[in-house]
Each structure stands twice: as C-alpha cells, then as structure tokens.
Structure 1
Amino acid sequence: MPGLTPRDFSDIWAFVRVVDAGSFSEAARQMGTTKASISKAVARLEAALQVKLLNRSTRRIGLSEAGRDIHQHALRMVEEARAIESTAAGQQSGPGGTLRVSTSMAFGNAQLAALLPAFMARYPAVRVVLQLQDRYVDLVEEGIDVALRLSPKVDLMSAVARPVAPLNYVLAASPGYLEQYGVPADLAALHEHRCLTFGDSGPAGGWQFDVAGARLQFKPAAALAINSSQALREAMLGGAGIALLPTFVVGEDMRTGRAVHVLPALAPVGMFGTHVLAVYRENRFLPQKVRVFIDFVLEHFGEHPPWDAFLRRPASR
C-alpha cells in the first residue's frame, strides 16, 4: 500500500470540499482552482488509500461506504488545521515566512519588481518568491499565495479577487517618428501611419476605442507585431511607429517626453482588462504575509497609480 504522506493533506482538503460543496465544480470555485485539479486531487487520495471514496454519476456525487468513514476523519483534520491557522494568526507578532507571488512578465518587470525592495525593508521577516509568467497560474497546484492578474477573463467567483489598480491604455509614438511622419488628426488618419500591434491585436485583429459612449473599431495594417508589451515599447521608442500600450508600460515615457500621447481624446480598450487584480485563495484566516502585501500594493498603486500621473496633468494653454 502506498500510504499517505504529508503532501496528501491538500488532497484531503480537496476531498472534504467536494463533499461539502456537492460537486467538483463548486469545490473548485470555492478553492480558486479548476475542476480538473480537484478531480486529480481526489483521484490521488483514492490511489494513496486504495479505496473508492466517491460514487460519481451524471447528476450527483455521493460518498462510498469507506468514503463516509474517511470523510469524518478528514473533516476533523481540516477543522484542526483551521484551528492551528487561527491560533497562529492571533499570536503571530508580525508577518513572516515565504510569500509566493505571480504576475505577468510585463507588469512584473515594469512595476512590481521595483516595489519589492521597499516591501522587504518594511517586512524583513517575509521572503518573497516572485514568478513572472504569461499564462494562467493555478494558485493551489502551483502553491501561489497571491497573483496580480491582468486579464479580462478573470473569474471573480473562482477566488477572492481585489482590484489594486486601474488598467489604462494609450496610443504612443516617439517624438522622432511624429516629426518625420506627422501627428494623426483623427482615427481615420492612422491608416496613413505605421502601426505596431501586440500579437494579433486582440478580438478580430483590431484596436477598439470608447468615444462618447460608442465603441469604435480600427483595424491597423500592422507594420510590426510583437507578443510582448515591453518589446513593443522598445520598438515604439526607436521610432518604428504608433503602438497601443498599457500605461503601466509607457507611463514614465509619457511623463519624461520620451513618448507622445497620440489622439488623447480616444479611450483605447485594452486586451488585458480594466484592472490589476490581486487574486488569492478564499481563506477565513488570511495569512498576515498576504494581507500586508496586498495592503502595500494598494498603498503604492491604488486608484491613481504613479504610472498614470501624465494623464492627470493639466492641459497646456
């Protein structure tokens, strides 16, 4: 018999959630993960115990005879773990331990990495592990404490998701490019310019704008397409053309004059959503290290992040 190991506790926790929730889908929603990962966890636990825990049908999930007995023991284990967590939360003098954070390559490089030294200085007992990746990250399977997600498709029911900063977008070009090719007067004039796009430029391969309550679409003939916001910024700064970029990537360039805000009356609709979201697993006793990190990010970003300062400048007369 393979037997249980300490790592199987997460599978026991998933088993209890499935029984309590009545379905794999609802358990996945409550734990902030996917139905497939919950199913794998229960399957691993059944393999370790060499018993069938659940009777599955197309309409319902029920406990097997062995599953009923094991569920009672598992439930007590989960309750004891929660009691330990509650005690630790009440007695811990300050945040500590390893904090695992995930975010996108562009946001991590442009904004988050520079913020971490100040966070670590304030909370020296917290060790930070920052993972940058441009893909969906399963918080449970990959052991992530908090993810700063930039996506229009974040399911707010799958975990706790807290907005920590708005996501704004602009059309940007270098002063040199505009000096050579001129400043476009309106959206139609962009047809005469070299446009730089992010990959396939999102839905239907076009740029979208909100103008006076209406949604306008413009399909650029991409002179250059790159699947990296940071690389797109470099090409724009080098004079390659006009790019649609998130302000967290290009805001500092706007502030210093390295880049120019093109057609500022337009409000581009970006492919990364409208907010940076701090996503973390639902937990009655949120660890101090997670709570202080989210508070710290809100303190430094918030409703008016520093990279959007150029948008708040008074118009010149």
Structure 2
Amino acid sequence: MRNLNDYYFFVQVVEHGGFAQAARHTGTPKSTLAKRVAALEAELGVRLIQRTSRRFTVTELGQDFYRHASAMLIEADAAEDVVKGRLAEPSGTVRITASVPTAQTVLARVLAQVALEYPKVFVSVHVSDRFVDMVQEGFDIAVRDHFAPLPDSGLVQRRVASEPVVLVASPAYLAAHGVPLQPQDLAQHAGLVSAAGGGPWLLEDEAGAKAEATPQARMHANESSVLVQAAQAGLGITCLPLRMVGEALEAGRLQRVLPQWRAGTVTTTLLMPHRRGQLPSVRLVADAIARG
C-alpha cells in the first residue's frame, strides 16, 4: 500500500532543491528524507532524483511525477479546508424523515426557524409513514413518535419528548350527549378512533389505576387531523397526543374528557446513524428539534 507521506517528502525535496534545504524547511532529518524518497523510488521501480555528493537533479520522469504529486497535495489541502469550513460554520444538506403528524406538529415551525437563522443549512424533509432504512437511504435524522419502546436497531436514539394521549370532544357534543364521569361511561358515547377494529382504549389515571373503555365507533381514520376536525364538528370523542389537540383546547373548540385519565403516552425520539463524526449542521438541527 502506498505511503502518501513519501509523496509529500518527495515534493518538499524537489521544491526546495535538495535534501538539506528540505530538511531545514520541514524539520525532518535529512537522513529520513533520503530514506523515504529512496523507498518511494523502490516502490515505483524508477529513479526520480539523480543525486551525488555535488549534484542534485530531478529526472525527466521525476519531474512528471512531481507535477502530479504536487497537484495531489494541493487537492488534499483543499479537501481539508472543505471539512474545516463545514466544522467552523454549519452548512450543507441535512436529510430528515418523519411521519405526517410528526412533521406537522414537531418539525414545521422548528425547521423554518433553523433555515432563517442558518442560511447555509439546507433542510430536506421526507414525510412518510413507511419503514425507512436510514443508512441505505441516506437520512441524517429520523423523528419518530411511538407508544412502545423502539427496538434496538444499532442507531443512536435520543429521546426528546414525552406527553400524554388525552380524550377530547367538542363542547357542543358534550352538551348534547352528556359528560362522561368514569371510563365505563364511554361505552354510551360515539368514538372517533384511529383504526377500524382497534380494540378498547386502555386508560390509566394519575394514581396508576387502569381501565378499558370501548366507545361506539362513529368514525375511524389513521390520520390525526381528520380525527381532530371530526371531534371539533361534534361527531364524538377521540383520543390523541396532547400536542395535536392543544391549539383546539386553548381556543375552546375542544375540551378534555375524563381529564384525570390518559390513554397512554407518546414518546418522540430522534434516531441518527452515527454517534461520532456528525457534521455541525446535523447536530444543530437535532438540537433544535430536541428543544422544540
């Protein structure tokens, strides 16, 4: 395998017109320079420099080799400068994958602010609910909302948020159909559920007591905003992560049902392929998402 340091030593010797001059410039002993150039010549099987006690001459082939070796070192310096520039100031493309509701409720505002503050950072967001192979598809960050712990995938997992799944309905619905006082009362109410035949809602109160509730399914949808709109229209009771209904709760379009109970907890986790060597742009975006 080539020792590219020998290319560097050879270029220094040629540029400074001899081993003694190159030794003074580089701080490398003259004997070391001579040994490394000799090793390079032996590896290549050619004479690059004709040297005697009185004369130093670069051969014709050595001059050609010098031009290419010198260009290689210039390109190596340029490559290093690119990395140093990226490390000094966040820049470049950061590819993110997230589900539709996560993109809407977690990423939209945060990423817009990052783009405003760091104009050299280009964020590319891929929104999909399908399984994504981060490494194979070249994503830097995945943002996942999940109810159960994520499996050990070899990816770096960074938990950034955890919030309750709450029951909500419109004031008009509750005025018309009554306010449930305990979980079993939900059996007499219309339910807006996230999947057909999804089973009962599993509830837990602040003291850790558990209960099951099975409302009468009025609608099912696997997209959260549909359920929010249906609840606001007065079609029934739904359960969703708090952040997805927070604005409607604050505006009074929805209100909590059985506020002392929750239908589980949703956790938001950032997944990244590598623990080390991340570019500042990736760390910057990950930190911004974590802060929310």
TM-score (norm 2): 0.67
One-letter code aligned to 1:176: A
- Partner of residue 139 from structure 2, selected from 139, 144, 147: 144
User: Partners in 2 of 1:85 and 1:102 — Cα distance?
Assistant: 30
- 1:296 equivalent in structure 2: 288
- 1:208 equivalent in structure 2: 202
1:286 aligns with 2:281: no
SS of residue in 2 equivalent to 1:264: coil
One-letter code aligned to 1:289: S
SS of residue in 2 equivalent to 1:183: coil
Q: Deviations over 1:78-106 (max 9, x none)?
A: xxxxxx89992686221111111111101
User: Partners in 2 of 1:124 and 1:227 — Cα distance?
Assistant: 36
- Partner of residue 189 from structure 2, selected from 188, 193, 203: 193
Question: In angstroms, what is the RMSD of aligned CA positions?
Answer: 2.2
Larger Rg: 2
- Quick one: structure 1 residues 91 and 177, their matched pair in 2 at CA, closer, same or farther if it must change by over 3 Å? closer
SS of residue in 1 equivalent to 2:102: helix
- Quick one: structure 1 residues 90 and 127, their matched pair in 2 at CA, closer, same or farther if it must change by over 3 Å? closer
1:175 aligns with 2:185: no
- 2:95 equivalent in structure 1: 100
1:155 aligns with 2:151: yes
- 1:184 equivalent in structure 2: 180
User: Partners in 1 of 2:274 and 2:286 — Cα distance?
Assistant: 14
SS of residue in 1 equivalent to 2:225: helix
Shift of 1:189: 1.0
- Quick one: structure 1 residues 132 and 255, their matched pair in 2 at CA, closer, same or farther if it must change by over 3 Å? same
SS of residue in 1 equivalent to 2:137: coil
- 1:232 equivalent in structure 2: 227
My pick for the range that moved more, 86-95 or 243-252, is: 86-95
Shift of 1:153: 4.8
SS of residue in 1 equivalent to 2:136: coil
Identity, in percent, stands at 33
Structure 1 runs (4+) deviating above 4 angstroms are 84-87
- Quick one: structure 1 residues 269 and 286, their matched pair in 2 at CA, closer, same or farther if it must change by over 3 Å? same
Shift of 1:220: 2.6
SS of residue in 1 equivalent to 2:159: strand
- 2:71 equivalent in structure 1: none
| Residues 107 and 249, structure 1, Cα contact 8 Å, conserved in 2 | no
**Count of residues in Structure 1 that have an aligned counterpart in Structure 2:** 212
1:112 aligns with 2:100: no
- Quick one: structure 1 residues 251 and 166, their matched pair in 2 at CA, closer, same or farther if it must change by over 3 Å? same
SS of residue in 1 equivalent to 2:134: coil
Shift of 1:140: 1.0
1:255 aligns with 2:255: no
Shift of 1:112: 1.4
| Residues 102 and 144, structure 2, Cα contact 8 Å, conserved in 1 | no
Structure 1 segment 14-163 matched on structure 2, within 5 A: 88=83, 92-151=87-146, 152-163=148-159
| Residues 95 and 124, structure 2, Cα contact 8 Å, conserved in 1 | yes
User: Partners in 1 of 2:252 and 2:106 — Cα distance?
Assistant: 19
| Residues 193 and 239, structure 2, Cα contact 8 Å, conserved in 1 | yes
- 2:48 equivalent in structure 1: none
Q: Deviations over 1:283-314 (max 9, x none)?
A: 42121111011111222x2xxxxxxxxxxxxx
| Residues 167 and 262, structure 2, Cα contact 8 Å, conserved in 1 | no
| Residues 111 and 248, structure 1, Cα contact 8 Å, conserved in 2 | no
- 1:312 equivalent in structure 2: none
Q: Unaligned 5+ residue runs, structure 2?
A: 1-78
- 2:268 equivalent in structure 1: 276
User: Partners in 1 of 2:160 and 2:272 — Cα distance?
Assistant: 13
TM-score (norm 1): 0.62
